[in-house]
Amino acid sequence: MLASPLFSSILITALVTVASSLLVIWNNWEKARANEQERTLQKIAAELSVLKLQISPHFLFNTLNNIRWLVRSHSENAEPALVKLSQLLRYILYQANHDTVPLEKEVEHLQDYISLQKMRIQEQESIRFEVAGKLEGRTIVPLLLIPILENFFKHGTFAADANALIMLSVHGQSLNFRTVNKIALKSTGNDLTEKGIGLENVKRRLALHYPNQHTFRHYEDNGYYFVNLEIEKI
Amino acid sequence: MMRCIAVDDEPFALQLLADDIGKIPFLQLMKTFSSPLEALEYLKTSSVDLLVPRYSDAFAEGNRVS
């Protein structure tokens, strides 16, 4: 055995140096990873707030303009329309800041949105909105479904026989939301790129909030447009 | 009198536009259209002096009639 005291102390010093260096390196690495995670989180948070704000200014100004006509023609519908618009704005400004909202609130919001959109449609009876199942106790990411409705009203045509349908149903913990609308002839030159943005936002929000827990399909078939969203657990 | 037509795909906005045009004494509103293509059809057989396109605001650009 060559274990002289000198050799032992050199060995111990070396071991301590290596160990502490490793500790420092590991610490730094851990810190870098935490920073990286923090950055990712911040990025996602920023992206989420932007996506939430994608409520269409076009819709707001159209609605105001519609109400302007109701006022000018002394229609008794002017006041209820204003009340709905005010509820809708209140919801967007205050409720939508929360990560999730009670499903009942979101459904009320959908109802306000639908009735404001319906104002400009002659055959209002051709659009059905059905809600089925037990909403109480369920929550949802706010404003998630609005872009689907925007798409529905923007590209749909609503003659008496068009049979447009918006349906939201809850089975236990799962949510199904689907829309069917007859597609309007593309005569007014609606550009197709815009069509993509709304549903693209829905897709991204779903991926962020309900990863691997949803199926989202939208397709055209025989002049009709179908959107079908299933979230397994809300 | 100036002969004019109005185009807007929003029915209420079109009514507003028609109502506004009615208030201007030297304008005569010939017809209103909800789509530029219909207006274009009309223009093939009739002549007008003024075309009033879609009501537009700060955010919503009018659809081009061309």
Three-state secondary structure call for residue A139: strand
Q: Phi and psi (nearest 5°) for A182? A: -75, 135
Instruction: Determine the Cα–Cα distance for residues A4 and A27; give it in Å rounded to an integer.
Output: 34
Tell me what pLDDT residue A186 has: 63
Interface with B, mutate which of A67, A68, A69, A77 (most B CBs under 10 A): A69
Q: Which residues of B touch A (CB under 8 A)?
A: 9-13, 15-16, 19, 34-38, 55, 57-60, 63-64
* pLDDT tens-digit series, residues A165-201: 999 999 999 999 999 999 987 644 444 445 567 888 8
Closest Cα in chain A, distance from residue B13 (Å):
7
Tell me what pLDDT residue B66 has: 35
What is the H or E stretch that residue A83 is in?
A: helix A78-94
ipTM exceeds 0.85, yes or no: no
Closest Cα in chain B, distance from residue A92 (Å):
19
Which residue of chain A comes nearest to B17, CA vs CA?
A: A69
| Amino acid code (one letter) for A114 | I
* DSSP-derived secondary structure for A97-108: GSS-EEHHHHHH
Chain B residues within an 8 Å CB radius of A186: none
End-to-end Cα, chain B, rounded Å:
25
* pLDDT tens-digit series, residues A39-57: 788 777 776 666 666 567 7
Q: What percent of chain A has pLDDT over 90?
A: 56
What mean pLDDT is reported for chain A?
87
Q: With CB atoms and an 8 Å threshold, state whether A65 touches B36.
A: no
Give yes or no for a contact between A227 and A179, defined as CB atoms under 8 angstroms apart.
Answer: yes
Tell me what pLDDT residue A43 has: 74
Which residues are A201's β-sheet partners?
none
Instruction: Determine the Cα–Cα distance for residues A11 and B31; give it in Å rounded to an integer.
Output: 99
Name, of A19-23, A60-64, B35-39, B54-58, the range with top average pLDDT. Answer: A19-23
Residue B63 is nearest to which of A69, A120, A189, comparing CB atoms?
Answer: A189
For residue B35, give the nearest of B10, B7, B57, B14 by alpha carbon: B7
Q: With CB atoms and an 8 Å threshold, state whether B37 touches A61.
A: no
End-to-end Cα, chain A, rounded Å:
69
Q: With CB atoms and an 8 Å threshold, state whether A120 touches B37.
A: no
Q: What is the mean pLDDT of residues B28-55?
A: 91
* pLDDT tens-digit series, residues A116-172: 999 888 788 889 999 999 999 999 998 899 999 999 998 898 988 888 999 999 999
Cβ neighbour number for residue A113 with a 10 Å cutoff: 25
Three-state secondary structure call for residue B2: strand
